Amino acid sequence: PEHTLYRCLSDAVDDWSSSSSSGSSSGSNSSNSGSSGGVLADYTTVDTFRDPLVQQHQQQKQQKSAAARSPAYIVYVESKSVPSGESVSESNRKLSALLDEQLQQSHHVFRSFRAKNAIGEPQVRLVRPGSFKEMRGSLVEQGMSPNQLKMPRVLRSDRLAALLQEHVLPPTASA
């Protein structure tokens, strides 16, 4: 459910921010989503079957087969504050592991699917500040009322997934 993902993701962002600031690499299973660490600005998910990177790779190789790994969710995350000093690639890896841990602790069905390798670890991708504002603008341009707009938490549009992928922070940049 959406509220479980939101809570787990908020806690993972907070744990990531505090562990990166203190130099620790383990999550603290915090439950104070309003802490002074990294604050979740916005997020959305897309399943790996809609992953723009996989689609691009398949087009380049002229392959139509699905990826060989277990299906998983890609979670695009915009954080209001980001710890400095580590690469975006390392931040994405840490956030992915923390989110996976939080979800397994909070949701027994997810934990069961992970144990059976029926679903892969969520893949967090940090996006530039303002990415979701741009996505909202795109949705309004498509005819959605700005007063009625609710950010989709699971993208079913390849175009919107590609738009967010264009805003992913470069892996070698510092978070």
DSSP code of 150? -
Confidence class of residue 154 from pLDDT cuts 50, 70 and 90? very high
Contacts of 164 (CB under 8 A, 6+ apart): 44, 46, 76, 125, 127, 131, 135, 155
Residue 153 has a pLDDT of 93
More confidently predicted of 52 and 139:
139
pLDDT over threshold 80, residue 3: yes
* Ramachandran sector of residue 69 (left: φ over 0; alpha: ψ -120 to 50; beta: rest): beta
Q: Report the SS3 class of residue 158.
A: helix
167 with 128: CB under 8 angstroms?
yes
Q: Phi and psi (nearest 5°) for 50? A: -105, 10
Q: What strands, in cross-sheet order, belong to the sheet with 73-79?
A: 40-47, 73-79, 123-126
121 with 100: CB under 8 angstroms?
yes
**Mean pLDDT computed over 111-134:** 94
Average pLDDT, the chain: 81
CA distance 71 to 91: 22
Confidence class of residue 132 from pLDDT cuts 50, 70 and 90? very high
Confidence class of residue 68 from pLDDT cuts 50, 70 and 90? low
Q: 12-44: per-residue pLDDT in tens?
A: 999 888 876 554 433 334 333 334 446 899 999
Q: Report the SS3 class of residue 59.
A: helix
Question: Could you give the dihedral angle defined by the CA atoms of residues 87, 29, 115 and 117, in that order, rounded to the nearest 10 degrees?
Answer: -30
Contacts of 64 (CB under 8 A, 6+ apart): 58
Q: With 0.85 as the threshold, say if the pTM is over it.
A: no
What share of the chain has pLDDT > 70, as a percent? 78
Residue 146 has a pLDDT of 86
Residue 84 has a pLDDT of 73
CA distance 157 to 36: 34
